[in-house]
Amino acid sequence: MKNIFMGEYIKQRRLDLGLTQEQLCEGICEPITLSRLENGRQTPSRNRINALLQRLGLPDDRYFALLSKNELEMEALQKEIVSCNSNHRIAEGFDTLKKFEQVADPDDQIAQQFILRSRVLLGRLDHRYAPREQIDLLMQAIRLTVPRFKLDQIESFLYSTDEIKIINQIGIAYSDDGQNEKAAELYAQLLRYVRKHFQEIVSVGVLPMVYFNAARVLDLCKRYQEAAECAAEGRKACIRYGHYQYLPHCLEIEAECLHFMGEDKKSANLYRKCYYLCQVIEYQEGLEITKKEAKEYLGIEFEDE
């Protein structure tokens, strides 16, 4: 049964992209092999399936073990919900989340955890959940899979990537609530954990994400030396692991902290790098923040081209 549903999913994705069988499988396998896969009559080697999935723009390992159409539908809905959150499409995100809830098994703890976390992420964007409400929902979410979880014992458990993201979001909620020192304590534990367990995992953006958020709350606590060091590590992690979405943030935080530490020459250099990076990636919000801080702190005025 797994072969049939995997084949159906590959075929549908291929058709959605307007690809022929020959275009998709060129250099990977013969068209007849792909045809048999799509019809559930043959399973090529895992490497070939992974290569096909990558050509279709899909994560490879995650889809290999899917067993049912229901799971395939859930995966597609999850991707759409994540996209809605990233692009601030809040109403659409909640509508898609409702569809996900309808197909998810109430006893599926992973699915229910995703629902709670997504509700918080989307609800934070339109302010429907106050920080304390976010924390309560996120604690419910993490305890679905880590029942004994405690904020002062973060390093006592093992976590998946999604669980790390929930803990990270709890830290953000505490910061939003004005409890930056508490958030900093949380991130200190989380950083020790991810340094130990995620240092060599290059397929996820866990390290850059945690470094950035830790640096942000340390900056808000006016612990500039620690914040600058954390932001610098985050910057290096962004480059090392290829997760550049956090790079402008790390550059901006490090530049700001260096200014408050009296190192204006280094600060100016980082602000320039941040400004031009934001221009290249067309990150308007980061561009405005960088221009404002560079002018206020250092008297540097950037002119948009």
Confidence at 202, pLDDT banded by 50, 70, 90: very low
In this predicted structure, the answer to whether residue 3 has a pLDDT above a threshold of 70 is no
For residue 55, what are the contacts with CB-CB under 8 A and spacing of at least 6? 24, 28
Contact in structure between 289 and 260 (CB atoms under 8 Å) = no
Closest CA to 104 of 95, 119, 94, 114: 114
Tell me the residue type at 170: I
When pLDDT is cut at 50, 70 and 90, the band that residue 254 belongs to is very high
Give me the domains of the chain, ranges plus CATH numbers: 2-64 (1.10.260.40)
pLDDT for 66 beyond 60: no
CA distances from 138 to 96, 120, 129 (A): 20, 7, 12
Q: CA dist 208 to 16, 157, 221, 239, Å?
A: 33, 21, 20, 9
Interval 262-286: pLDDT, tens:
999 999 999 999 999 999 999 999 9
User: pTM, whole model, 2 decimals?
Assistant: 0.78
* Interacting residues of 52 by C-beta distance below 8 A, sequence separation 6+: 10, 24, 25, 28, 29, 34, 37, 44
Q: Is a pLDDT exceeding 80 seen at residue 58?
A: no
Question: pLDDT per residue over 74-127, tens digit each?
Answer: 888 999 999 999 899 999 999 999 999 999 989 888 889 999 999 999 999 999
Cα separation, 10 vs 12, whole angstroms: 6
The answer, yes or no, to whether residue 67 has pLDDT greater than 70, is no
The residue written with tokens 């490090």 in the block is 254
Instruction: Specify the pLDDT at position 272.
Output: 97
257 touches 235 (CB < 8 A): no
Residue 2 pLDDT: 46
Q: Which amino acid is at 12?
A: Q
